[in-house]
Homo-oligomer: A and B are copies of this chain.
Amino acid sequence: TRQYRITLLPGDGIGPEILTVTVDILKLIGTQLDIDFQFQEALIGGSAIDETGEPLPDQTLKMCRNSDAVLLAAIGGYKWDNLPREKRPETGLLAIRAGLNLFANLRPATILPQLIDASSLKPDIVRGVDIMVVRELTGGIYFGEPKGIFETETGEKRGVNTMAYTESEIDRIAKVAFETAQKRTGKLCSVDKANVLDVSQLWRDRVTLMAEQYPDVELSHLYVDNAAMQLVREPLQFDTIVTGNLFGDILSDAAAMLTGSIGMLPSASLGLEKPGLFEPVHGSAPDIAGQDKANPLAQVLSAAMMLRYGLNEAKAATKLEKAVLEALAQGYRTGDIMSQGMKSVGCKAMGEVLLRI
């Protein structure tokens, strides 16, 4: 029996519902494959603010550090939108990324043939799209100093953030990206704004240098504005994309939306050591929270990424992924991905379908 301690962070909105479904399936797979998952639950986001005043209580970070993987659902909601930034749910998310040193964010955007009509793009443009965005997650303008709102000499306010990367920060994310590309089709596109930004020039230089160590990877470079265009124009040209924190935020969301079904997309955030953090790409959807309407599949697929990238349990990961595909093949759909002729189910019922498969 392999034992893993998993910290569950249900967070806000639909978080608890989709996580419950996921835990049930993990338990079943554990029994089938002789894996003993020990779950412990902790607070983050809005619900943590309500209970403790902090979006990431120390206790939560401690519990995460003391586990093999962290499974996060979703955070945020209108209720906390007007608090000062240090007390907002998102700040908890940034703090846990920094606290666990999760510098590599893997965000797949895959078109499932069953859901191809959900895309706003023409089927011929998106059929077969399978992109992996490798986003740097603990540096860049999200964390660079100086930052703040300062007073200028003339007495007006000036808002400032700093986009910065050191060579070692670039190297470690580039390494993850080259290795990811190697395991996929061997095509890597690095995205920057080197025609304008110094920090991008350093990024491009380091990525280019590292390419010498990966002769089997075909490296290309795109400026971020062009990358945004090319994703819309011809997404099939991309396999693995590597980029900084801010560009990765924007491009991974654009790539996700090509699929038309963001309720299906998982993500993994990894450091050099355990634990990694695994969460769906979608948000906490406060408008449908508690109504058994949420789509739990991105959360289930996030658990699959946890098994594959966080715990090295590829067999269990594949089992989960197959269950999701089979549920879709059998025609089950939650509201967000419903289409004519399919069987409409709620969050719980989708979970039961997965358990039966």
Contact = CB atoms under 8 A, between A and B. Distances in A.
Interface string A1-23: 00000000000000000000000
A229 B253 contact: yes
Given A157-B202, A159-B166, 20 more contacts: A88-B195, A120-B125, A120-B232, A121-B121, A121-B232, A141-B141, A141-B197, A142-B196, A144-B160, A147-B198, A158-B165, A158-B166, A160-B162, A193-B246, A193-B249, A228-B228, A228-B253, A231-B254, A233-B257, A254-B254
A168 B156 contact: yes
Contact of A156 (B122, B159, B167, B229): B167
Contact of A201 (B149, B162, B228): B149
Contacts of A141: 141, 163, 196-197
Interface in A251-290: 251-254, 256-258, 260, 262
B156 A160 contact: no
A85 interface: yes
A31 interface: no
A198 B120 contact: no
B249 A224 contact: yes
A133 to B, nearest CB: 12
Counting contact residues on chain A (CB < 8 A from B), the size range is 35 or more
A275 to B, nearest CB: 23
Contact of A232 (B160, B164, B225, B254): B254
A181 B121 CA distance: 28
Interface in A118-154: 120-122, 125, 141-142, 144, 147-149, 152
A203 interface: yes
A357 interface: no
Contact of A122 (B121, B147, B198, B250): B121
Given A148-B198, A164-B159, A258 B246 contact: no
A85 B229 contact: no
Contacts of A160: 144, 162-164, 198-199
A312 interface: no
A200 interface: yes
A247 to B, nearest CB: 8
A18 B252 CA distance: 36
Among A152, A163, A250, chain B packs the most CB atoms within 10 A around the CB of A250
A262 B159 contact: no
16 contacts: A121-B121, A121-B232, A142-B196, A149-B201, A156-B168, A157-B202, A160-B164, A161-B198, A162-B162, A162-B163, A224-B249, A225-B253, A229-B254, A232-B232, A233-B257, A233-B260
Interface in A214-257: 224-226, 228-229, 231-234, 246, 249-254, 256-257
A112 interface: no
A314 to B, nearest CB: 30
B224 A250 contact: yes
A54 interface: no
A220 to B, nearest CB: 14
A90 interface: yes
Contact of A159 (B165, B229, B252): B165
A98 interface: no
